[in-house]
A and B are shown apart, each in its own frame.
Chain A
Amino acid sequence: MAKSIKIRAKEKDGVVELKALMTHPMQPSGQKDKKTGEPIPPHFIQEVTCTVADRTVLTAQWSGGVSKNPYIASMFKGKKGEKITLSWVDNKGESDSQEAEIK
């Protein structure tokens, strides 16, 4: 599951705009295969955490109602050159994390 996250963070007037894309199926619970009628096991990101220089700026709790390969954008106070870390954990316990520098 390496490199499932792409981050872009840009600072302007003390405010950082974060944009991130994750690669994930985001299969919600309660769906059935249309042909076989078999239930499809849910598989979706439950929690996304974003930290900047050890400050948690955003925690997102998700259901399977967020679209496949999720996109997230947020704004917060920060400086150029600070390190930003975005990580996710899904309902199967898989996780990934990616670091980037604020530009």
Chain B
Amino acid sequence: MSIDIKRRLFLKGSVAASAVGAAIGAGMLTPGQVLAAWPKEAFDNKDMAGSMETLLGMSSAEESGEIEVKAPEIAENGAVVPVTISADMDGVESIAIYAPNNPSPLIANFVMGAGAMGYCQTRIKMGKTGDVVGVVKAGGKLYKAAKEVKVTIGGCGG
């Protein structure tokens, strides 16, 4: 009897251990491999120029009238600010969205793949009134355009 119970406990224990192993495998290994390209340093940088340097290889961008940044004049709720960026130029490689007045200025970077248009749309958080800057990389050069958004209630909390 007692051996039987022990055997049962042992089996239970090994099943639990393998489940933990699988959880670690799923939780720890996968993101490391999948997210190897996630530019942590660029997202952590509190300075927009520094972040651009890390992310895109250049710290300054040329003002361009071919980029349109669509965002509301006044955002009543800073937690949800709809932003659309369209770049009317050839060979758009990536579009980055910056909010220089946020604690972490880099919000998102969209890398365009095969056949993608220079267009992206999302919703962002803004801590306070400031510019939304779209930085477009096209043909190895950086272009930017900005739009000021007045935020009445900040969305970055405290």
| CB of A57 closer than 8 Å to a CB of B | yes
What size tier do the contact residues of chain B reach? 35 or more
| CB of B61 closer than 8 Å to a CB of A | no
User: Once the chains bind, are B111 and A75 in contact (CB under 8 Å)?
Assistant: no
User: Once the chains bind, are A63 and B43 in contact (CB under 8 Å)?
Assistant: yes
User: Once the chains bind, are B113 and A55 in contact (CB under 8 Å)?
Assistant: yes
A interface footprint on B84-116 (CB within 8 Å = 1, 0 otherwise): 100000000000000100111011111111111
A interface footprint on B24-37 (CB within 8 Å = 1, 0 otherwise): 00111011001101
User: Once the chains bind, are B111 and A68 in contact (CB under 8 Å)?
Assistant: no
| CB of A23 closer than 8 Å to a CB of B | no
User: Once the chains bind, are A66 and B122 in contact (CB under 8 Å)?
Assistant: yes
User: Once the chains bind, are A60 and B116 in contact (CB under 8 Å)?
Assistant: no
Q: Which residues of A contact B158 (CB under 8 A)?
A: 31-32, 34
Bound Cα distance from A49 to B59, whole angstroms: 26
Q: Which residues of B contact A66 (CB under 8 A)?
A: 107-108, 122-125
| CB of A7 closer than 8 Å to a CB of B | no
Q: Which residues of B contact A57 (CB under 8 A)?
A: 112-116
User: Once the chains bind, are B125 and A93 in contact (CB under 8 Å)?
Assistant: no
User: Once the chains bind, are A67 and B35 in contact (CB under 8 Å)?
Assistant: no
User: Once the chains bind, are B121 and A46 in contact (CB under 8 Å)?
Assistant: no
What size tier do the contact residues of chain A reach? 35 or more
Partner of B28, one of A64, A93, A95: A93
A15-B108 contact, Cβ under 8 Å, with A31-B158, A67-B124: no
User: Once the chains bind, are A65 and B114 in contact (CB under 8 Å)?
Assistant: no
A65-B104 contact, Cβ under 8 Å, with A57-B115, A93-B31: yes
Would you mind naming 21 contact pairs between A and B with Cβ atoms under 8 Å apart?
A: A46-B31, A46-B35, A55-B115, A58-B116, A59-B37, A59-B110, A65-B124, A66-B123, A66-B125, A67-B122, A71-B121, A71-B123, A72-B122, A73-B120, A73-B121, A74-B119, A74-B121, A75-B116, A77-B115, A93-B30, A95-B34
* Chain B residues at the A interface, C-beta cutoff of 8 Å: 26-28, 30-31, 34-35, 37-39, 43, 79-82, 84, 99, 102-104, 106-117, 119-125, 155-158
If A59-B113, A65-B104 are given as contacts, then 15 extra A-B residue pairs at C-beta distance below 8 Å, sorted by A number, are: A28-B156, A46-B35, A47-B35, A55-B113, A57-B114, A58-B110, A59-B37, A60-B108, A60-B111, A62-B107, A63-B108, A65-B125, A65-B156, A67-B125, A77-B115
